[in-house]
Amino acid sequence: MQYRSLGKTKIKVSEIGFGAWGIGGGWGPKDDESSMHALQRAFDLGITFFDTAMGYGNGHSERLIGQAFKERRDQVVIASKVPPKNFRWPVKDSDPLSATFPAGWIIQCTEKSLRNLGTDYLDVQQLHAWTDAYLEQTEWLEALQKLKQEGKIRAFGVSANDWDPFGAVNLVKSGVIDTVQVIYNIFEQRPEEILFPAALENNVGILARVPFEEGLLTGALRPGHPFAAGDWRKDWLTPERLEAAGHKVDALKEYLSPDCPTLSALALKFCLSHAAVSSVIPGMRRVENVEANAAVSDGILLHDNLRQTLKAHQFNHGWAYPWSRSTP
Protein backbone atom coordinates (compact mmCIF):
# COMPACT_ATOMS: atom_id res chain seq x y z
CA MET A 1 0.00 0.00 0.00
CA GLN A 2 1.24 3.47 -0.92
CA TYR A 3 0.68 6.47 1.35
CA ARG A 4 0.26 10.17 0.64
CA SER A 5 0.14 13.43 2.56
CA LEU A 6 -3.31 14.84 3.19
CA GLY A 7 -2.77 18.36 1.92
CA LYS A 8 -1.15 20.74 4.39
CA THR A 9 -2.05 18.60 7.38
CA LYS A 10 0.59 16.39 8.88
CA ILE A 11 -1.65 13.38 8.35
CA LYS A 12 -0.56 10.47 6.14
CA VAL A 13 -3.31 8.44 4.49
CA SER A 14 -3.40 5.26 2.44
CA GLU A 15 -3.95 6.21 -1.19
CA ILE A 16 -6.77 3.67 -1.29
CA GLY A 17 -9.28 4.60 1.40
CA PHE A 18 -12.31 2.73 2.67
CA GLY A 19 -15.59 4.39 1.66
CA ALA A 20 -17.92 3.40 4.49
CA TRP A 21 -21.36 4.46 3.29
CA GLY A 22 -22.25 0.94 2.18
CA ILE A 23 -21.62 -0.69 5.55
CA GLY A 24 -24.07 1.77 7.08
CA GLY A 25 -26.92 0.70 4.79
CA GLY A 26 -28.75 1.81 1.67
CA TRP A 27 -27.04 -0.57 -0.75
CA GLY A 28 -29.12 -3.65 -0.15
CA PRO A 29 -29.33 -5.93 2.91
CA LYS A 30 -26.84 -5.07 5.66
CA ASP A 31 -24.43 -7.76 6.80
CA ASP A 32 -22.50 -6.50 9.81
CA GLU A 33 -20.39 -9.63 10.08
CA SER A 34 -19.26 -9.26 6.48
CA SER A 35 -18.63 -5.55 7.04
CA MET A 36 -16.44 -6.22 10.05
CA HIS A 37 -14.42 -8.78 8.09
CA ALA A 38 -14.00 -6.20 5.32
CA LEU A 39 -12.80 -3.52 7.75
CA GLN A 40 -10.30 -5.89 9.37
CA ARG A 41 -9.02 -7.14 6.01
CA ALA A 42 -8.60 -3.56 4.80
CA PHE A 43 -6.37 -2.79 7.78
CA ASP A 44 -4.37 -5.98 7.25
CA LEU A 45 -3.70 -4.89 3.65
CA GLY A 46 -2.46 -1.44 4.69
CA ILE A 47 -5.60 0.63 4.28
CA THR A 48 -5.48 3.20 7.06
CA PHE A 49 -7.99 5.82 5.88
CA PHE A 50 -11.67 5.26 6.64
CA ASP A 51 -14.28 7.77 5.45
CA THR A 52 -17.67 7.66 7.14
CA ALA A 53 -20.48 10.06 8.10
CA MET A 54 -23.04 10.51 10.84
CA GLY A 55 -25.71 10.13 8.16
CA TYR A 56 -24.53 6.70 6.98
CA GLY A 57 -27.16 4.48 8.53
CA ASN A 58 -27.84 7.05 11.27
CA GLY A 59 -24.41 6.41 12.76
CA HIS A 60 -24.29 2.67 12.05
CA SER A 61 -21.24 2.99 9.81
CA GLU A 62 -19.42 4.99 12.50
CA ARG A 63 -20.25 2.44 15.18
CA LEU A 64 -18.88 -0.44 13.08
CA ILE A 65 -15.63 1.42 12.46
CA GLY A 66 -15.35 2.27 16.13
CA GLN A 67 -15.83 -1.36 17.06
CA ALA A 68 -13.33 -2.58 14.46
CA PHE A 69 -10.53 -0.28 15.59
CA LYS A 70 -11.24 0.17 19.27
CA GLU A 71 -7.89 -1.34 20.24
CA ARG A 72 -5.81 0.39 17.54
CA ARG A 73 -7.36 3.81 17.13
CA ASP A 74 -3.97 5.49 16.75
CA GLN A 75 -3.16 3.30 13.73
CA VAL A 76 -6.03 4.50 11.54
CA VAL A 77 -7.21 7.82 10.13
CA ILE A 78 -10.95 8.41 10.46
CA ALA A 79 -12.92 11.09 8.64
CA SER A 80 -16.60 11.77 9.26
CA LYS A 81 -19.17 14.34 8.14
CA VAL A 82 -21.78 16.68 9.59
CA PRO A 83 -25.10 16.39 7.70
CA PRO A 84 -27.07 19.54 6.89
CA LYS A 85 -29.39 20.23 9.83
CA ASN A 86 -32.40 20.05 7.49
CA PHE A 87 -31.06 16.79 5.98
CA ARG A 88 -31.56 18.12 2.47
CA TRP A 89 -28.99 17.60 -0.26
CA PRO A 90 -27.56 19.42 -2.09
CA VAL A 91 -27.12 22.61 -0.07
CA LYS A 92 -28.11 25.60 -2.18
CA ASP A 93 -27.12 29.26 -2.16
CA SER A 94 -30.63 30.12 -0.98
CA ASP A 95 -30.38 27.91 2.14
CA PRO A 96 -29.64 30.03 5.23
CA LEU A 97 -26.72 28.76 7.26
CA SER A 98 -29.06 28.51 10.25
CA ALA A 99 -30.94 25.74 8.40
CA THR A 100 -27.86 23.74 7.43
CA PHE A 101 -24.65 24.24 9.40
CA PRO A 102 -25.14 26.49 12.44
CA ALA A 103 -22.35 26.29 15.00
CA GLY A 104 -24.36 24.41 17.61
CA TRP A 105 -25.34 21.74 15.11
CA ILE A 106 -21.75 21.20 13.94
CA ILE A 107 -20.60 20.76 17.53
CA GLN A 108 -23.57 18.53 18.44
CA CYS A 109 -23.01 16.24 15.45
CA THR A 110 -19.29 16.02 16.05
CA GLU A 111 -19.88 15.01 19.66
CA LYS A 112 -22.35 12.36 18.51
CA SER A 113 -19.88 11.01 15.94
CA LEU A 114 -17.22 10.77 18.63
CA ARG A 115 -19.59 8.74 20.79
CA ASN A 116 -20.53 6.50 17.87
CA LEU A 117 -16.87 5.87 17.09
CA GLY A 118 -15.87 5.46 20.72
CA THR A 119 -13.01 7.93 20.31
CA ASP A 120 -12.10 11.33 21.67
CA TYR A 121 -11.00 12.81 18.33
CA LEU A 122 -11.67 12.74 14.61
CA ASP A 123 -8.76 13.03 12.21
CA VAL A 124 -10.94 14.91 9.71
CA GLN A 125 -14.39 16.44 10.14
CA GLN A 126 -16.26 17.55 7.02
CA LEU A 127 -19.41 19.44 6.21
CA HIS A 128 -21.46 16.96 4.19
CA ALA A 129 -22.34 19.56 1.53
CA TRP A 130 -21.20 23.03 0.56
CA THR A 131 -22.33 26.20 -1.16
CA ASP A 132 -20.17 29.16 -2.08
CA ALA A 133 -22.69 31.45 -0.36
CA TYR A 134 -21.27 30.39 3.02
CA LEU A 135 -17.74 31.55 2.27
CA GLU A 136 -18.38 35.06 3.60
CA GLN A 137 -20.02 33.71 6.76
CA THR A 138 -17.92 32.66 9.71
CA GLU A 139 -20.16 30.72 12.10
CA TRP A 140 -19.45 27.31 10.55
CA LEU A 141 -15.72 28.04 10.39
CA GLU A 142 -15.54 29.25 13.99
CA ALA A 143 -17.27 26.07 15.15
CA LEU A 144 -14.77 23.84 13.34
CA GLN A 145 -11.83 25.92 14.56
CA LYS A 146 -13.15 25.63 18.13
CA LEU A 147 -13.37 21.85 17.80
CA LYS A 148 -9.82 21.79 16.48
CA GLN A 149 -8.54 23.93 19.34
CA GLU A 150 -10.21 21.56 21.80
CA GLY A 151 -8.45 18.59 20.21
CA LYS A 152 -11.69 16.97 19.07
CA ILE A 153 -10.72 17.18 15.40
CA ARG A 154 -7.29 17.36 13.77
CA ALA A 155 -8.35 18.84 10.43
CA PHE A 156 -11.51 19.88 8.61
CA GLY A 157 -12.94 20.28 5.16
CA VAL A 158 -16.06 19.91 3.05
CA SER A 159 -17.68 17.33 0.85
CA ALA A 160 -18.63 19.16 -2.34
CA ASN A 161 -22.21 18.91 -3.57
CA ASP A 162 -22.93 15.97 -5.87
CA TRP A 163 -21.80 16.59 -9.46
CA ASP A 164 -20.53 20.07 -8.53
CA PRO A 165 -16.83 20.20 -9.43
CA PHE A 166 -16.61 23.99 -9.16
CA GLY A 167 -18.55 24.95 -6.02
CA ALA A 168 -15.63 24.55 -3.59
CA VAL A 169 -13.00 26.33 -5.68
CA ASN A 170 -13.27 29.69 -3.91
CA LEU A 171 -13.24 27.94 -0.56
CA VAL A 172 -10.00 26.19 -1.50
CA LYS A 173 -8.48 29.48 -2.63
CA SER A 174 -9.43 31.09 0.69
CA GLY A 175 -6.94 28.86 2.48
CA VAL A 176 -9.21 28.18 5.47
CA ILE A 177 -9.78 24.45 4.94
CA ASP A 178 -7.64 21.34 4.80
CA THR A 179 -9.58 18.97 2.52
CA VAL A 180 -12.23 18.74 -0.17
CA GLN A 181 -14.08 15.56 -1.05
CA VAL A 182 -15.41 15.56 -4.62
CA ILE A 183 -16.82 13.17 -7.22
CA TYR A 184 -13.98 12.37 -9.61
CA ASN A 185 -13.66 9.50 -12.07
CA ILE A 186 -13.15 8.69 -15.75
CA PHE A 187 -16.65 9.92 -16.58
CA GLU A 188 -16.52 12.97 -14.27
CA GLN A 189 -13.20 14.68 -15.00
CA ARG A 190 -14.25 18.31 -14.51
CA PRO A 191 -12.49 18.70 -11.12
CA GLU A 192 -9.23 18.75 -13.10
CA GLU A 193 -10.18 22.04 -14.75
CA ILE A 194 -10.13 24.47 -11.80
CA LEU A 195 -10.52 22.66 -8.47
CA PHE A 196 -7.42 20.47 -8.63
CA PRO A 197 -5.04 23.27 -9.71
CA ALA A 198 -6.40 25.41 -6.86
CA ALA A 199 -5.92 22.52 -4.41
CA LEU A 200 -2.32 22.02 -5.49
CA GLU A 201 -1.59 25.73 -5.21
CA ASN A 202 -3.12 25.95 -1.73
CA ASN A 203 -1.99 22.53 -0.50
CA VAL A 204 -5.52 21.27 0.12
CA GLY A 205 -5.99 17.50 0.20
CA ILE A 206 -8.39 16.01 -2.35
CA LEU A 207 -10.46 12.95 -1.43
CA ALA A 208 -11.80 11.44 -4.65
CA ARG A 209 -15.19 9.83 -4.12
CA VAL A 210 -17.41 7.77 -6.46
CA PRO A 211 -14.41 6.47 -8.46
CA PHE A 212 -16.56 3.71 -9.97
CA GLU A 213 -19.47 6.01 -10.89
CA GLU A 214 -21.72 4.10 -8.47
CA GLY A 215 -20.55 0.79 -9.94
CA LEU A 216 -20.87 1.60 -13.63
CA LEU A 217 -17.11 1.81 -14.22
CA THR A 218 -16.58 -1.70 -12.82
CA GLY A 219 -18.43 -3.13 -15.82
CA ALA A 220 -20.69 -5.15 -13.51
CA LEU A 221 -23.86 -3.11 -14.09
CA ARG A 222 -25.51 -3.90 -17.40
CA PRO A 223 -29.08 -3.56 -18.69
CA GLY A 224 -31.25 -5.95 -16.70
CA HIS A 225 -28.96 -5.95 -13.69
CA PRO A 226 -30.85 -7.38 -10.68
CA PHE A 227 -30.41 -4.73 -7.99
CA ALA A 228 -30.93 -6.01 -4.47
CA ALA A 229 -33.89 -4.86 -2.43
CA GLY A 230 -32.98 -1.67 -0.63
CA ASP A 231 -30.30 -0.64 -3.14
CA TRP A 232 -30.98 3.04 -3.89
CA ARG A 233 -29.48 2.67 -7.39
CA LYS A 234 -32.44 0.57 -8.56
CA ASP A 235 -34.51 3.61 -9.52
CA TRP A 236 -31.57 5.86 -10.46
CA LEU A 237 -29.98 3.52 -13.00
CA THR A 238 -32.90 2.95 -15.32
CA PRO A 239 -32.55 0.45 -18.18
CA GLU A 240 -32.03 3.37 -20.57
CA ARG A 241 -29.22 4.79 -18.43
CA LEU A 242 -27.58 1.40 -18.05
CA GLU A 243 -27.69 1.00 -21.82
CA ALA A 244 -26.16 4.43 -22.44
CA ALA A 245 -23.41 3.90 -19.87
CA GLY A 246 -22.71 0.36 -21.05
CA HIS A 247 -21.48 1.53 -24.43
CA LYS A 248 -19.19 4.05 -22.74
CA VAL A 249 -17.79 1.41 -20.39
CA ASP A 250 -17.21 -1.09 -23.18
CA ALA A 251 -15.06 1.46 -24.98
CA LEU A 252 -12.65 1.49 -22.02
CA LYS A 253 -11.80 -2.20 -22.27
CA GLU A 254 -9.16 -1.59 -24.95
CA TYR A 255 -7.03 0.19 -22.32
CA LEU A 256 -6.74 -2.81 -20.01
CA SER A 257 -3.21 -4.13 -19.53
CA PRO A 258 -1.15 -6.20 -17.10
CA ASP A 259 -0.86 -3.09 -14.91
CA CYS A 260 -4.63 -2.47 -15.19
CA PRO A 261 -6.18 -5.90 -15.74
CA THR A 262 -9.73 -4.87 -14.80
CA LEU A 263 -11.99 -1.89 -15.36
CA SER A 264 -12.02 -1.30 -11.61
CA ALA A 265 -8.23 -1.09 -11.54
CA LEU A 266 -8.26 1.33 -14.46
CA ALA A 267 -10.84 3.49 -12.69
CA LEU A 268 -8.84 3.66 -9.46
CA LYS A 269 -5.50 4.27 -11.15
CA PHE A 270 -7.06 7.07 -13.17
CA CYS A 271 -7.88 8.87 -9.91
CA LEU A 272 -4.55 8.12 -8.29
CA SER A 273 -2.61 9.39 -11.28
CA HIS A 274 -3.53 13.01 -10.59
CA ALA A 275 -1.09 14.74 -8.24
CA ALA A 276 -3.87 16.58 -6.38
CA VAL A 277 -5.48 13.38 -5.10
CA SER A 278 -4.50 12.34 -1.57
CA SER A 279 -6.78 9.30 -1.40
CA VAL A 280 -9.47 7.66 -3.49
CA ILE A 281 -12.33 6.19 -1.47
CA PRO A 282 -14.27 3.41 -3.21
CA GLY A 283 -17.19 2.00 -1.29
CA MET A 284 -16.44 -1.44 0.13
CA ARG A 285 -18.58 -3.96 1.98
CA ARG A 286 -17.00 -7.35 1.31
CA VAL A 287 -13.53 -8.82 1.67
CA GLU A 288 -13.24 -9.53 -2.04
CA ASN A 289 -13.87 -5.85 -2.82
CA VAL A 290 -11.22 -4.82 -0.32
CA GLU A 291 -8.62 -7.21 -1.72
CA ALA A 292 -9.20 -6.16 -5.32
CA ASN A 293 -9.09 -2.46 -4.54
CA ALA A 294 -6.07 -2.62 -2.24
CA ALA A 295 -4.11 -4.51 -4.89
CA VAL A 296 -4.31 -1.48 -7.19
CA SER A 297 -1.94 0.45 -4.91
CA ASP A 298 1.29 -0.90 -6.40
CA GLY A 299 3.14 2.34 -7.13
CA ILE A 300 2.43 2.15 -10.88
CA LEU A 301 0.38 5.06 -12.22
CA LEU A 302 -1.12 5.68 -15.64
CA HIS A 303 1.30 7.21 -18.11
CA ASP A 304 0.52 10.68 -19.40
CA ASN A 305 -0.42 9.50 -22.88
CA LEU A 306 -3.12 7.23 -21.52
CA ARG A 307 -4.45 9.94 -19.21
CA GLN A 308 -4.74 12.25 -22.19
CA THR A 309 -6.50 9.54 -24.19
CA LEU A 310 -9.00 8.99 -21.39
CA LYS A 311 -10.03 12.64 -21.55
CA ALA A 312 -12.10 11.70 -24.60
CA HIS A 313 -14.12 9.31 -22.42
CA GLN A 314 -15.71 11.91 -20.18
CA PHE A 315 -19.45 11.33 -19.85
CA ASN A 316 -21.21 14.22 -18.12
CA HIS A 317 -24.62 12.60 -18.10
CA GLY A 318 -26.42 15.01 -15.75
CA TRP A 319 -28.30 12.28 -13.89
CA ALA A 320 -29.30 13.85 -10.58
CA TYR A 321 -29.36 11.58 -7.57
CA PRO A 322 -32.83 10.60 -6.30
CA TRP A 323 -32.38 12.62 -3.09
CA SER A 324 -31.53 15.85 -4.91
CA ARG A 325 -34.04 18.66 -4.71
CA SER A 326 -35.32 20.49 -7.73
CA THR A 327 -34.21 24.09 -7.95
CA PRO A 328 -36.82 26.31 -6.25
Q: How confident is the model over 122-172, as pLDDT tens digits?
A: 999 999 999 999 999 999 999 999 999 999 999 999 999 999 999 999 999
CATH number of 221's domain:
3.20.20.100
Q: For residue 322, is it within any domain? A: no
Q: Which residues are catalytic?
A: 56
3-state secondary structure string across the chain: CCEEECCCCCCEEECECEECCHHHCCECCCCHHHHHHHHHHHHHCCCCEEECCCCCCCCHHHHHHHHHCCCCHHHCEEEEEECCCCCCCCCCCCCCHHHHCCHHHHHHHHHHHHHHHCCCCEEEEEECCCCHHHCCCCHHHHHHHHHHHCCCEEEEEEECCCCCCCCCHHHHHHCCCCEEEEECCCCCCHHHCCHHHHHHHHCCEEEEECCCCCCHHHCCCCCCCCCCCCECHHHHCCHHHHHHHHHHHHCCHHHCCCCCCCHHHHHHHHHHCCCCEEEEECECCCHHHHHHHHCCCCCCCCCHHHHHHHHHHCCCCCCCCCCCCCCC
User: What percent of the chain has a predicted confidence (pLDDT) above 90?
Assistant: 98
Q: For residue 326, is it within any domain? A: no
Confidence of residue 327 (pLDDT cuts 50, 70, 90): very low
Q: For residue 266, is it within any domain? A: yes
Q: For residue 195, is it within any domain? A: yes
Q: For residue 328, is it within any domain? A: no
Q: For residue 166, is it within any domain? A: yes
The pLDDT tens digits for 23-59 are 999 998 889 999 999 999 999 999 999 999 999 999 9
Q: For residue 324, is it within any domain? A: no
Residue 318 has pLDDT above 90, yes or no: yes
Domain containing 259 equals 3-313
Structural domain count, the chain: 1
